[in-house]
Structure 1
Amino acid sequence: MSVINVMWAGGAPFASVHKVHNQILSRMEPALPVQTWLLRGSAAACQIDMGAALEWNMTSAQLKGRHIWRLLKPLLHRRFRQALIDSDARVVLLDGIGVARILLPVLKDLPQIRVVVIFHGATRLDPASRELIRGFPASHLSLAAVSQTLAMSLQDELGTQVTVLRSAFDPAEFQSALLPREAARIRLGLPASDTRVFGAVGRLVDSKGFAGLLEAFGQAAARHPDWRLVIVGEGPRREALQARIAQPDLTGKVLLAGHRDDVATLYKAFDWVLIPSVDEGLGLILQEAILARVPVLASELAVFHEQLGDAGWYVPLNDEGGWSDAIERAAQAPADTVAAGQYQALAPEEAWSSFTRTARQLISGCQ
């Protein structure tokens, strides 16, 4: 018997999704053999060890049933069906609605397999997708979302139970890998002095809000020439962000550090972590920063309120002036006290215990 972990694709854009699925699979008890299926991309492009992986090397047209592939869909379904039977799978973990659209029609006729669909962010459910989920036998289908906010939204739309599986980290394991402040700054090429350093982490895409953050930081740092902002991540908006950073008001103040496999070890380099996202399924960066005892300033999103409550420092979406003012207030605040309050609100030890328990229930079907 085995568990099949089906992912849409490999590569940096899907790193947080891979991380969540690996966390879920690590909580299985007793351990079962796991094979990951990557519908697109390669395991080598993933930022974490995916273990045994089957690469299907499919194109976007194939996955979405475009053009001639609409006619060849029955052939594709037969291939998936035979692979599932050959694997002796008893549990299949599906990465969101895109993967579910492809595999649920096949899995519907394999009642010996339990299916778990994990939703990671805001999901566009068209009528066909809603009908597909509602028509699947509830006895061997579980739906889960990585935050209560997302679960409630999906539950209202689907009219069926969606389990809250709020992603979490093992605090002891995460904290043991952290570099001290000076070492982390050296790793990033920053001065190991008392220079004020703000950090931001994420894909360089519009939804992360980094363009607005640059404008806000430029305003806040105008009176503080020694302040620095470091953005760790890579993506299609790099060129535009780099052009903005080259302007006189930001020259020498902002570092685009690119993608780093070791980013989770570097949070102590920052005095504050800034999260200006306009949309998040959960926001693992918030959790990582707080586990590192670094305070967080974040956008006014329900998923952040869900995790930090009144201990959070929030700024309205797309409010550059608000962000500028908040950055200045943060620089004057007692960072250690704010971080301690946010750590208590997040309650990482309890969150990890809850995540472990819920993940095991989802995999076993004993909910």
Structure 2
Amino acid sequence: MSIINVMWAGGSPFASVHKVHRQILSQIDPAMPVRTWLLQGSESACLEGVGPAREWNLTSAKLKGRHFWRLFRPWMHSRFRQALLDSAAQVVLLDGLGVARTLLPVLKDMPHIHVVVIFHGATRLNAVGRDLLRGFAPSRLALAAVSQTLAASLQEALGLPVTALRSAFDPAGFQTCLLPREEARARMHLPLAGPRIFGAVGRLVDKKGFASLLDAFALAAVAQPDWRLVIVGEGPAREALQARIDQPDLVDKVLLAGHLEDVAKLYRAFDWVLVPSFEEGLGLILQEAILAGVPVLASDLAVFREQLADAGWYAPAGDETAWGEAITRASEASAEAVAAAQYQALAPDEAWAGFCRTARELISGRQ
């Protein structure tokens, strides 16, 4: 018997999703084999270790049955079914609604397999998707979301129970890997002392709010020539962001550091971490920064308030003036005191224990 972990794709855009699935799978019996399926992309592109992987090399058009590819779906389903039988799969873990739409029609007629669908962010649910999920007996299908905020939203939209599996990190394991401040700054080629350095981490896409953050930082740093902003990540918005950085009010103040595989070790290079997202399913960056002892200023989103409550420092998403003022206030506050309060609010040890317990219940079907 085995567990099949089905992911839409590998690569940096999906790194956080793979990280969450790896955390879930860390809670199963080590004697039970786990095999990952990548519907698109290659194992070598995965930034998180996925173990033995099968690469299906399917295009989005094939997976979604667009146009004449609809005729391809019965053959594709037949291949999936045979692969599931060959693997003696007992549990199948599915990455979100897109993967669920692809695999659930096959799994519906395989009653010996327990199915878990993990939702990582806001999802567009149409009638077909709702009916597909509602077509399974609750004893066979478990739905989970990576935050209470997301779980509540999905439960209302689906009319089905959705378990809140607020993703978390093993605090001791995460903190063991952190580099000291000086080493982290050296790794990023930053000054070891002197300038105040704000950090931001994430995929360079519009919903992460980095364009708005640049305008806000320009306002806050107008009289602070020694302030620096470092944005770690890669993505399609890079060219537009770099064009803004090259403007006179930001030149020499902002660094696009690109993708860094070991970014989780480097948070202590920053005085504050800024999370200007317009939307998040959870926001692992917030958790990682706080575990590193670095205070966070984040968009005023329900999912962040869920984790930090009154200990959080918030600014309205997309409001450059409010963000600029908040960055200035942050620079004047005691970073150590804010970080300590946020760590206490996040309660990492308790959160990790709860995550482990819920993950085991989901996989076993006892939720």
Report the TM range for the smaller structure's normalisation: over 0.9
Q: What corresponds to 1:328 in structure 2? A: 328
User: Which secondary structure does the structure 2 equivalent of 1:100 belong to?
Assistant: helix
Q: Is the 8 A contact 2:122 2:150 kept in 1?
A: yes
Per-residue deviation, residues 170-204 of structure 1 (Å, max 9, x unmatched): 00010011111111111111100031000000000
Q: Counterparts of 1:176-325 in structure 2 under 5 Å?
A: 176-325=176-325
Partners of 1:31 and 1:235 lie apart in 2 by 38
Q: What corresponds to 1:351 in structure 2? A: 351
- For 1:151, the aligned partner's letter is A
| Identity in percent | 72
Q: Is the 8 A contact 2:169 2:348 kept in 1?
A: yes
Q: What corresponds to 1:54 in structure 2? A: 54
Partners of 2:84 and 2:69 lie apart in 1 by 21
User: Which secondary structure does the structure 1 equivalent of 2:139 belong to?
Assistant: helix
**1:30 Cα deviation after fit:** 5.1
Per-residue deviation, residues 24-51 of structure 1 (Å, max 9, x unmatched): 0011135410000000000100101111
User: Which secondary structure does the structure 2 equivalent of 1:223 belong to?
Assistant: coil
Partners of 2:48 and 2:103 lie apart in 1 by 24
Q: Is the 8 A contact 1:29 1:360 kept in 2?
A: no
Partners of 2:340 and 2:326 lie apart in 1 by 19
Per-residue deviation, residues 95-115 of structure 1 (Å, max 9, x unmatched): 000000010010010010000
- For 1:100, the aligned partner's letter is A
Q: Give the TM-score normalised by structure 2.
A: 0.99
Per-residue deviation, residues 84-135 of structure 1 (Å, max 9, x unmatched): 0000000000000000001001001001000000000000011000000011
Partners of 1:157 and 1:39 lie apart in 2 by 27
Partners of 1:246 and 1:156 lie apart in 2 by 45
In the comparison of the two structures, how many residue pairs are matched? 367
Q: Is the 8 A contact 2:139 2:365 kept in 1?
A: no
- For 1:315, the aligned partner's letter is A
Partners of 2:327 and 2:343 lie apart in 1 by 20
Partners of 1:61 and 1:154 lie apart in 2 by 26
Q: Is the 8 A contact 1:108 1:137 kept in 2?
A: no
Q: Please identify, of 116-125 and 61-70, the stretch whose mean Cα deviation from structure 2 is larger.
A: 61-70
- For 2:249, the aligned partner's letter is D
Q: Is the 8 A contact 2:39 2:58 kept in 1?
A: yes
Partners of 1:51 and 1:159 lie apart in 2 by 35
Q: Is the 8 A contact 2:165 2:355 kept in 1?
A: yes
**1:282 Cα deviation after fit:** 0.2
Per-residue deviation, residues 3-36 of structure 1 (Å, max 9, x unmatched): 0000001111000000000000011135410000
**1:279 Cα deviation after fit:** 0.4
- For 2:57, the aligned partner's letter is N
User: Which secondary structure does the structure 1 equivalent of 2:345 belong to?
Assistant: helix
Partners of 1:294 and 1:194 lie apart in 2 by 17
User: Which secondary structure does the structure 2 equivalent of 1:277 belong to?
Assistant: coil
- For 1:32, the aligned partner's letter is M
Q: What corresponds to 1:169 in structure 2? A: 169
Structure 1 runs of 4+ aligned residues shifted over 3 Å read: none
Partners of 2:122 and 2:269 lie apart in 1 by 31
- For 2:129, the aligned partner's letter is S
Q: Counterparts of 1:4-15 in structure 2 under 5 Å?
A: 4-15=4-15
**1:60 Cα deviation after fit:** 1.1
